């Protein structure tokens, strides 16, 4: 074939290939960095009038109050004396806050790198009473980390903007603008050494109750915090002087902490750690139950631990609920696993287990027979991130679209009592 004809055919083919285009629309996250000086963070704590819920975080119940986190901004204080009509009381501004617990009217929260203690006796005028500085060096929310730089005494954080763009591209080929980009994350927001409190972990009734996505919990005069790799123990016998006493390296991929009696159950990307807490200042490891890599909150009741695994930034294990026999705490073993859609937080009350399925809603399960768990109800009309079974008839749920409160006296027919929608 003559060279001129061959060159003509090649150019014709290239022209046809380049003109084979499609129109695509994609939504993606853009993260823009910004810096905060330490002094501005310290001076940023204040109490204001109630505000709209814009970016829901963790939930916590204390006495008649409901606390809802506003991610990295503060905490909504709500009077929940009447679950059918919760009343906003105030908004506590706390820069960098993701997680918090309450004991004896003292609110302990992370404020970026610091652990702060705030007096909640008057929720309309919350005041700082103590601070343990520079305890947390970094944290992560939706897969994006903030960092504390001791040299500049400042924090570098990121603000997320969701963009939607329509463009033309070669059909079937990825546009280079989006290669390597994360299309959002459904995973729990957490700090390096922080989290919300798990169910009543302290002796007596001086503490509150939080969800299963916990990185803080309470026991007696101690506050426990898990980071990506460590368990930190704080002595809070003097509320104005929270003091770090012990730091235990746990490995990597640590996510949650759940107290049960005098034991600590710690969820990680690869397994569940069980620690003996009889000496609260120095917990001792008893065993590890390993599982495939996945996001992993855990709750416990009696001889059973319930663990949800989900795909995402934590790993690629199947979405499922695992039931673990812990009658021998030194040798836990899995009874059975149940397929789920995309499970997040969970809560157990007597014979009922409630599981958050993220964008797939909320499930109520009968766990009378751990070998044969039955689904009682599946609510699909809202997002569910974490849940607290507060009592035999009150269920608290938080999700990306807001807060929901149910009457769960009949687990097969949950009745909506109230909701606080995201604005």
Tell me the domain boundaries of the chain: 36-139+187-421
pLDDT score recorded for residue 183: 33
| Nearest-angstrom CA–CA distance, 91 and 78 | 9
Q: Is 277 left (phi over 0), alpha (psi -120 to 50) or beta?
A: alpha
Banded pLDDT at 184 (limits 50, 70, 90) = very low
pLDDT of the residue at 202: 41
- pLDDT class of 240 with cuts at 50, 70, 90: confident
pLDDT digits 0-9 by tens, 195-235 = 333 445 444 446 899 899 978 999 999 999 988 888 999 99
Question: CB of 358 within 8 A of CB of 383?
Answer: yes
Nearest 5°: CA angle at 56, between 52 and 62? 90
CATH class of 36-139+187-421: mainly beta
3-state secondary structure of 226: strand
pLDDT tens readout for residues 29-68: 788 999 999 999 999 999 999 999 999 999 999 999 999 9
Contacts of 114 (CB under 8 A, 6+ apart): 41, 42, 131, 132, 133, 134, 135, 136
Using CA atoms, how far residue 54 sits from 64, 69, 75, 192, in Å, is 23, 10, 11, 24
- pTM for the whole structure: 0.85
Taking residue 304's Cβ as centre, other Cβ atoms within 10 Å add up to: 18
Q: What pLDDT shows up at residue 91?
A: 98
Position with higher pLDDT, 7 vs 245: 245
> What is the tens place of the pLDDT at every residue in 63-104?
999 999 999 999 999 999 999 999 999 999 999 999 899 999
| E strands in 9-126 | 21-37, 46-48, 56-62, 65-70, 74-79, 87-93, 100-103, 106-111, 114-119
pLDDT of residue 347: 97
* Long-range contacts from 198-201, C-beta under 8 angstroms, 24+ separation: 198/256, 198/257, 198/258, 198/259, 198/299, 199/258, 199/259, 199/299, 199/347, 199/388, 200/259, 201/259, 201/260
Q: What are the structure tokens assigned to 381, written together?
A: 């009309």
CB 6 within 8 A of CB 141: no
Q: Please report, for residues 9, 49, 60, 126, 243, the alpha-carbon distance to residue 120 in angstroms, rounded to integers and kept in the order given.
A: 79, 15, 13, 5, 20
Give residue 292's pLDDT. 64
Which among 346, 298, 294 is positioned nearest to 319, based on CA atoms?
294
């Amino acid at each position: 074939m003559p060279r001129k004809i061959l060159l003509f055919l090649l150019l014709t083919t290239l022209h046809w290939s380049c003109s084979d285009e499609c129109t695509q629309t994609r939504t993606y996250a853009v993260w823009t960095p910004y810096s905060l000086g330490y002094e501005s963070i310290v001076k940023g704590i204040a109490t204001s009038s109630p505000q709209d819920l814009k970016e829901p975080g963790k939930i916590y119940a204390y006495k008649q109050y409901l606390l809802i986190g506003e991610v990295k901004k503060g905490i909504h204080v709500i009077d929940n004396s009447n679950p059918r009509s919760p009343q906003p009381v105030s908004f506590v501004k706390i820069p960098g806050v993701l997680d918090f617990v309450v004991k004896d009217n003292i609110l302990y929260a992370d404020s970026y790198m610091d652990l702060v203690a705030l007096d909640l006796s008057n929720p309309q005028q919350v005041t700082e009473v103590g601070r343990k500085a520079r305890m947390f060096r970094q944290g992560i929310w939706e897969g994006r980390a903030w960092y504390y730089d001791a040299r500049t005494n400042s924090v570098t954080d990121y603000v997320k903007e969701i963009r939607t763009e329509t463009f033309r591209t070669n059909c079937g080929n990825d546009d280079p603008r989006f290669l390597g980009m994360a299309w959002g994350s459904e995973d729990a927001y957490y700090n390096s050494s922080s989290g919300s409190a798990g169910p009543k972990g302290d002796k007596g009734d001086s503490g509150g109750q939080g969800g299963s996505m916990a990185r803080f919990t309470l026991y007696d005069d101690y506050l426990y915090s898990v980071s990506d790799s460590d368990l930190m123990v704080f002595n809070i016998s003097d509320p104005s002087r929270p003091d770090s006493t012990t730091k235990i390296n746990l490995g990597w991929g640590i996510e949650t902490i759940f107290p049960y009696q005098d034991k600590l159950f710690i969820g990680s990307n690869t397994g569940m750690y069980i620690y003996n807490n009889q000496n609260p200042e120095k917990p001792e490891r008893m065993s590890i139950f390993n599982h495939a890599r996945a996001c992993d909150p855990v709750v416990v009741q009696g001889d059973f631990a319930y663990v949800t695994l989900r795909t995402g930034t934590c790993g690629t294990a199947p979405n499922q609920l695992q039931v673990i026999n812990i009658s021998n705490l030194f040798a836990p073993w899995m009874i059975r696993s149940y397929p789920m859609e995309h499970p997040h937080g969970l809560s157990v009350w007597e014979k009922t287990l409630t599981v958050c399925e993220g964008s797939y809603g909320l499930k109520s399960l009968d766990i009378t027979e751990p070998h044969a768990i039955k689904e009682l109800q599946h609510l699909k009309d809202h997002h569910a991130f974490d849940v607290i079974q507060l009592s035999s008839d009150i269920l608290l749920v938080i999700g990306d679209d807001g807060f929901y409160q149910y009457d769960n006296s009949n687990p097969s027919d949950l009745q909506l009592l109230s909701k606080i929608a995201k604005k």
